[in-house]
Amino acid sequence: RRRELISRFSVDPGVRAIVIDSPLLYETGLDAVCDLVVFVDAPLEQRRRRVAAARGWSSGELARRESLQKPAASVAALYGMGVKPATKIAHHSY
């Protein structure tokens, strides 16, 4: 479904940008269709609070889902982003 929408919107002259909010961007190969990737990380406790409030997830559910993703440091290293504790947003265009 996402790939179909991306294909349709990418040829529409009225669409200037497509934003994909996907925690499994790399695992699903969707990074291959991106001109720019913006990587945003947050401390674990902040992520726990957000998903508990917004989705009713337990810490265990968050841990289960995050175990399916590449670790943040791995993603940053993969694209040479050099994430530091004070850096919340890193990006790389390829």
pLDDT digits (tens, 9 = 90+) for 52-90: 999 999 999 999 999 988 887 777 666 555 544 443 444
Residue 84's pLDDT is 46
Give this prediction's pTM: 0.62
Our count of domains for the chain comes to 1
Closest CA to 36 of 81, 68, 69, 72: 81
DSSP, residue by residue, 13-79: TT--------TTTTTTTGGGG-SEEEEE---HHHHHHHHHHHH---HHHHHHHHTTSPPHHHHHHHT
Residues 69 and 24 sit within 8 Å (Cβ to Cβ): yes
Residue 2's pLDDT is 83
Residue 22 belongs to what domain range? Answer: 2-93
CA angle 52, 44, 30 (to 5 degrees): 90
Residues 73 and 83 sit within 8 Å (Cβ to Cβ): yes
Average pLDDT over residues 33-57: 90
Average pLDDT, the chain: 80
CA 50/CA 8 separation, integer angstroms: 32
Residue 56's pLDDT is 98
